[in-house]
Amino acid sequence: MVSGKSWIAAAALGSAAFLAAYAGHASAQNTPWNSAVVERSPDWYASAAARAVADGVLQYPSAAGGWQKNTDLSVFPPRPDDIAPDNGRMNTFDNDGTTLPMEYLARVFSASGGNEYRSAFLKGVDYILAAQYPNGGWPQFYPLRQGYYSHITFNDDAMTRVLTLLDDVAHARSPYAFVDPTRRARAREAVQRGIELILRAQIRHGDTLTGWCAQYEVESLEPAWARAYEPPSLSGAESVGILRFLMRIESPSPSIIASIEGGVVWLRAVAISGQRYETFINADGQSDRRVVPDPDAPPIWARFYELQTNRPIFLGRDSSVRYALAEIERERRVGYHYYGDWAHALLERDYPAWRARLSR
């Protein structure tokens, strides 16, 4: 099995030797690469199968120390282009990029050792710390890329995943006890700056705290556009991830408590009742999505709320704001989640548990 070598270095072994190593790796693991890879029992990470997956993960970090997204990191890359710096997927915090492989390598190292896993993780910590803006935010990609990729990015929980990982490192929580004191201290400082950024970025309606946007301009902290159908708006999805992160902070300050309470009140106020979000087959025999009246349906939330009115808004690829899902093209209706139950567990489980901890 090839361990700790890049695709190119492994290929230098010779085609026959490399193919044998590649086949051995592929046969040793049957673990799909998704968020569930960090939810196994602790003992599993000491297994040969877990180390085989980790050896795959080691093939992908860039020279800067970050990983790519939308890639099965559990298997060796079939082609050099799969780990090329210009493949458009490299060096990102989007879609579990960088943070998930780091979480996984930490678990394998803590369970079974392997300095190559530890070294890649620590280089990832350095990469994350280098990527933070002075004001406390993180971009979607680093090194920076032109366009919305360099906005401060909460979209798809990118920044909150980074903060959660760094917070665990800072407190030496399992499986990160192996991280040295210097990096733990730097992680603690980075988390504090990130929290300050979150508090500054929370949208106010007058004196009332509400939710957050998916992305912000770096200098002005103004809500920003991302893709053509992702406008400056209050987010019914990303606000949940931010609140969940704030709720895990030990001994929260009065400003953090006020931020959480304001966000929870806002989520309750914008919940949509009596409507069911469903997939159906339309008259043309195509899969489609719609909302239909249903008095028994549990509450749902819109992905985008108009900044000043809290009205749900919907945009297709023409970037025109509309107030009904049916008014945008089918391709976007089925290709994007404009509604979801994102806040349900937060309001019903996480928030009451957080309030109970505060009262102890």
H/E stretch holding 321: strand 321-322
Listed residues 172, 199, 226: the one ending a domain: 199
Cis peptide before 42 (omega within 30 of 0): no
Look at residue 219 in the predicted model and tell me its pLDDT.
97
Q: Are 1 and 24 in contact (CB under 8 A)?
A: yes
Q: Assess whether 359 and 219 both reside in one domain.
A: yes
Whole-angstrom distance, CA of residue 124 vs CA of residue 60? 12
Same domain, 153 and 299: no
The radius of gyration of the chain from alpha carbons, rounded to an integer in Å, stands at 22
204 touches 210 (CB < 8 A): yes
Q: What per-residue confidence (pLDDT) applies to 189?
A: 98
Same domain for 182 and 48: yes
| Arithmetic mean of pLDDT over the chain | 92
Closest CA to 59 of 120, 137, 126, 146: 120
CA distance 224 to 230: 9
Q: Is the dihedral of CA 75, 81, 86, 88 positive or negative?
A: negative
**Pair 281, 292: CB distance under 8 Å:** no
Averaged over 154-168, what is the pLDDT?
98
Residue 135 DSSP label: T
Q: Are 30 and 164 in a shared domain?
A: yes
Token readout for 135 is: 């004001």
Q: Domain check: are 139 and 215 in the same one?
A: no
Pair (67, 134) in one structural domain? yes
pLDDT higher than 60, residue 21? no
What are 10's two structure tokens? 């492994």
> What is the arithmetic mean of pLDDT over 281-290?
98
Q: How many distinct structural domains can be found in the chain?
A: 2
Tokens of 262: 């304001």
One domain for residues 190 and 208: no
Last residue of a domain, one of 177, 199, 221: 199
Evaluate whether 6 touches 25 at the Cβ level (below 8 Å).
no
Phi, psi (degrees; rounded to nearest 5) at 60: -110, -20
What pTM did the predictor assign? 0.92
Euclidean distance between CA atoms 201 and 211, whole angstroms: 9
**274 near 189, Cβ under 8 Å?**
no
Q: Which residue has the higher pLDDT, 7 or 191?
A: 191
Range of the domain at 312: 202-360
Contact 177, 261 (CB under 8 A): no
pLDDT-based confidence at residue 28 (cuts at 50, 70, 90): very low
Question: What are the tokens at 128?
Answer: 């994350």
Amino acid at 87: N
Look at residue 78 in the predicted model and tell me its pLDDT.
82
Note whether 142 and 242 are same-domain residues. no
Q: Please report, rounded to a whole number, the percentage of residues in the chain having pLDDT higher than 90.
A: 88
Signed CA dihedral, 201, 207, 209, 213: sign only? negative
The residue-averaged pLDDT of 278-304 equals 98
The pLDDT tens digits for 337-353 are 999 999 999 999 999 99
Residues 142 and 239 reside in one and the same domain:
no
| Among candidate residues 199, 221, 236, the one where a domain is terminated | 199
Does residue 192 sit in the same domain as residue 235?
Answer: no
Annotated catalytic residues are: 95, 227
pLDDT 10s digits, 69-100: 999 999 998 877 778 777 889 999 999 999 99
> pLDDT grade, residue 233 (50/70/90)?
very high
129 and 27 both lie in a single domain:
yes
93-122 pLDDT tens trace: 999 999 999 999 999 999 999 999 999 999
Residues 280-293, mean pLDDT to the nearest whole number: 98
CATH number, position 329? 1.50.10.20
| Judgement on whether residues 346 and 293 belong to the same structural domain of the protein | yes
pLDDT score for 82: 75
For range 246-260, the mean pLDDT: 97
Neighbours of 201 (CB within 10 A): 21
Q: Give the Cα separation of 345 and 194 in Å (integer).
A: 24
State the average pLDDT over residues 17-35: 59
User: What confidence score (pLDDT) does residue 27 get?
Assistant: 39
Cβ(209)–Cβ(262) under 8 Å?
A: yes
How far is Cα 235 from Cα 304, in angstroms, rounded to an integer?
Answer: 5
Contact status, residue 182 vs residue 121, Cβ threshold 8 Å? no
pLDDT band at 147 (very low <50, low <70, confident <90, very high): very high
Average pLDDT over residues 312-328: 98
Q: Is the pLDDT of residue 323 over 50?
A: yes
The CA distance from 174 to 278, in Å, is 40
